[in-house]
Amino acid sequence: MRESLESLLDTPIWRTLPSQQAGRPWLKYLILVPLGQLAFIAFSIIVVVPIASTSLFGTAEATLNKCLTSHLMLIVILIPIVGAVVYDLGREVVVLRKLWRGRQRAELPTDRPLLTHAVVITEYKEPLDVLAATVASLQEQTLAHNTIVVLAQEARDPGAEETFLSLKAAEKSFFRFMCTRHELQPGEVAGKSSNENLAVRQLYSRVLDMGLDPFTVMVTVADADSYFDRVFLEQVESEFWRTPDGRRMLFDSPINTVRNLAECNLLVQCYEIYRCQTVTFNHMTMQPCQSNYSMMLGFAHELNYWDPDNTSEDLHTTLKAIAYTSAPADCVVTVWSLIMNDSVTGFRDRWVQAKRHMWGVEEVAWIISLFPVLRWRVWYRMLGITADNLLKATIPSWIIFCFPQTWRALMDLGPSTLSLVLAGCILSFCYGWVKFFAREAFMRKYILGHRRDILVPMQWWRWAILVLSYPIVLPISQAIFVTMAGWRMLWHAVFHSQLKYVTAPKQFSPKAAVEMQQASFSFTGDG
């Protein structure tokens, strides 16, 4: 019995983590998880609520009436409500303050050598002007002189060589510039993960040839349309030195895709603002990496780089880091300097992107395959991160209102209780409504104001439509791009073990391209 228990709690040291393929036999069963939760919710509402409402609601009405006539009880009720609002506003102020500091120059140590930075830009048939804008933002970095830029290309792209030569001719030797060409191998999945896997492996060999310690090289992986703040690499390095031992940490900047918001349709506009705000203002707690993130090259080598048979590479890398470091409180360090990426503008293309995002369900299957390998505490935490996201995506809170029993229960409430419930819901919604656009206004004026030259301006009347339609558009966009996309991928997983990677179409707007060319990119990075 003791040996059986030990087998659950302990695992052989240095055992290699299975690849993504190990979890694929479990994919077809993932749909049972939300179906089971849905069945439990249905049973509770259809069977339990009608029985409980008869006896509880009358008592609740009487108790509430007594509370409303007692000044002491009103104070007791109001104190936690006011406290929650004050706490929430305090968090907002702290995050905005950190974002403000993230756009300032960072103080770096002077008693030791600085890190070498390597930025890996993955691309496949991307427009040249998109890549040129990304490279231009790297030329403007305060640490550009200490940076290696790797253009990770695909061998199947017929224009890859021409693209690289055009970018190299324009970059004016601000940094060391190299490219890699990935050829898809049997068992690999086309996409960012397999591409950067090869690119960083070749970078590791190049760094060794240069005589550098891989644990003195900070690698930042980025999408092709990543417009870096000029102090981004400086802020990454500052966070590294502020961490007691940052060698085996991930460094992640909150995602921001509002640069071309004016070019998006209404549903996409509302959802992208919501998505960026949700990630940014929850970065005080544990957030998996998204799109652009950094780590030491030595740590990437220890993690065996990226899995070439994986699609959701950012979440997968976060989970590998958690497993390797035995699930610390937080192995992802926030970098409060923002990288701006583009949103996918059209509804159909955004739906394709939403399905690719929701294919992150494959990580739940992979975590299940890790049970024999990891310690129980580590495995359970990783399962919680992935399964919780799966359930939140597929079972939204509003689903309880799809049952007539819920509405009947609400109608059975006494007048005082019903009024209080409605008032609470309306006030809470209005508070979120105001906060949503207040955040965005502050971000655009104070956090992104110095980068207004690359923001595509949106007319006031489109902002007015967005504000007024928010109560309807936001839940619809969440239902489509999260809930429906989540169920679609769970259904796909029943019959398929992989998802075909489709690159999101992005094009740098002509107006923004002209403004970027007019902007000054002559900064040499010497401080």
Report whether 335 contacts 464 (CB < 8 A): no
Per DSSP, the three-state class of 31 is coil
Checking if the pLDDT of 319 tops 50, the result is yes
The type of residue at 335 is V
Quote the pLDDT of residue 516.
42
Encode pLDDT of 83-92 as tens digits: 999 999 999 9
Report whether 194 contacts 308 (CB < 8 A): yes
Quote the pLDDT of residue 128.
94
Closest by CA position to 18, among listed 448, 380, 372: 372
d(CA 139, CA 172): 9
504: confidence class by pLDDT, cuts 50, 70, 90: low
Q: What is the mean pLDDT of residues 202-226?
A: 96
Quote the pLDDT of residue 503.
60
Closest by CA position to 361, among listed 7, 76, 27: 27
Of residues 331 and 58, more confidence is placed in 331
Quote the pLDDT of residue 512.
44
Quote the mean pLDDT of the chain: 88
d(CA 218, CA 207): 11
d(CA 371, CA 379): 6
**Long-range contacts formed by 417-422: CB under 8 A, 24+ apart:** 417/57, 417/60, 417/61, 417/64, 420/64
d(CA 478, CA 394): 10
Quote the pLDDT of residue 416.
77
Report whether 509 contacts 260 (CB < 8 A): yes
Encode pLDDT of 6-62 as tens digits: 444 454 444 578 888 889 999 999 999 999 999 999 999 998 888 777 666 666 667
Could you tell me how many helices (H) and strands (E) the chain has, helices first?
A: 19, 9
Checking if the pLDDT of 394 tops 80, the result is yes
Checking if the pLDDT of 348 tops 60, the result is yes
Report whether 466 contacts 270 (CB < 8 A): yes
Quote the pLDDT of residue 15.
52
283: confidence class by pLDDT, cuts 50, 70, 90: confident
Quote the pLDDT of residue 57.
63
494: confidence class by pLDDT, cuts 50, 70, 90: very high
Of residues 351 and 503, more confidence is placed in 351
Which residue intervals of 184-284 are DSSP H helices? 192-209, 232-242, 266-280
Question: Strands of 332-334's sheet, edge to edge?
Answer: 176-182, 147-154, 116-122, 217-222, 293-296, 250-252, 332-334
Encode pLDDT of 148-189 as tens digits: 999 999 999 999 999 999 998 886 767 789 999 999 999 899
Q: Which two tokens stand for residue 76?
A: 């007791």
* Least confident segment among 125-139, 403-417, 493-507: 493-507
Distances (CA, A) of 25 to 29, 180, 229, 368, 385: 8, 33, 43, 10, 20
Quote the pLDDT of residue 513.
45
The type of residue at 425 is C
Q: pTM to 2 decimals? A: 0.89
5: confidence class by pLDDT, cuts 50, 70, 90: very low
* Least confident segment among 65-69, 104-108, 220-224: 65-69
Of residues 527 and 117, more confidence is placed in 117
Which residue intervals of 140-191 are DSSP H helices? 160-170
Exposure pattern of 372-401 as b/e (b: 16+ CB <10 Å)? ebbeeebbebbbebbbebbbebbbeeebbe
Please report, rounded to a whole number, the percentage of residues in the chain having pLDDT higher than 90: 68
Of residues 503 and 111, more confidence is placed in 111
518: confidence class by pLDDT, cuts 50, 70, 90: very low
d(CA 490, CA 488): 6
Report whether 462 contacts 262 (CB < 8 A): yes
Q: DSSP secondary structure string, 437-501?
A: HHHHHHIIIIISGGGTTTSPP--HHHHHHHHHHHHHHHHHHHIIIIIIHHHHHHHHHHH-S----
Quote the pLDDT of residue 34.
94
User: Hey, what domains does the chain have and what are their CATH numbers?
Assistant: 13-103+354-497 (no CATH), 105-255+290-337 (3.90.550.10)
Q: How far apart are the first and last CA of the chain?
A: 64
